[in-house]
Amino acid sequence: MPHVIEAAATGRAKCRGCGGKIAALELRFGERLPNPFADGETTHWFHLDCAAFKRPEPFLEALAEKKEPLEGSERLESEARRGVAHRRLPRIDGAERASSGRASCRSCREPIGKDVWRIRLVFHEDGRFVPSGCVHVRCSRAYFETADVLARLHRFAPDLRDEDLKEIRQELEGPASA
């Protein structure tokens, strides 16, 4: 079966991208994948924004098939296309202050100091998102080939406050990797 964009029949499904609930009647994206436990296929559901950010290729396929107009489709399509052009962007899984100084940055290989802003990464493997380390916020341009990542960081770290976002924006706009 092809990937699908449809209204959620109930509010029970959880989004694979952010872990949050998908409200009843909200439009959602369904990625069809081979069922690892049986014959046939299984469907992984996502909020549309989460799909555009984390599963750009199958999301664009479903978008191309959708006949009815979709609110916000231009923005969603352009974000998904950015994730295809910059192949590491879909790995973004939010931002946080480092809780210890033990992890190293996957971009510059330097340690990420305690309380320094870092971006969580996940790799998509066999239909699952696997935690895969972090990069400094200030290494965004070097690692993702773009510093235009704030919407993705906020999507997957919705608890970030305005002052957090301001600090992160300053690091994104600052001089490249120290």
Interface with Zn ion (CB under 5 A)? 15, 17-18, 47, 50, 105, 107-108, 136, 139
* Alpha-carbon gap, residue 57 to 29, rounded angstroms: 12
Q: Would you say 39 or 159 has its CB closer to Zn ion?
A: 159
Q: Would you say 11 or 37 has its CB closer to Zn ion?
A: 11
Q: Give least dist CB 84 to Zn ion, A.
A: 19
Encoding tokens for residue 42?
A: 């299984």
* Alpha-carbon gap, residue 72 to 113, rounded angstroms: 38
Q: Give least dist CB 174 to Zn ion, A.
A: 13
Q: Would you say 105 or 121 has its CB closer to Zn ion?
A: 105
Which alpha helices (H) appear in the chain, and where do they start and end? 48-54, 56-65, 73-85, 140-144, 150-155, 162-173
Q: Would you say 40 or 96 has its CB closer to Zn ion?
A: 96
Q: Give least dist CB 39 to Zn ion, A.
A: 29
CA angle 106, 108, 112 (to 5 degrees): 75
**Does residue 58 sit in helix, strand or coil?**
helix
Q: Give least dist CB 170 to Zn ion, A.
A: 16
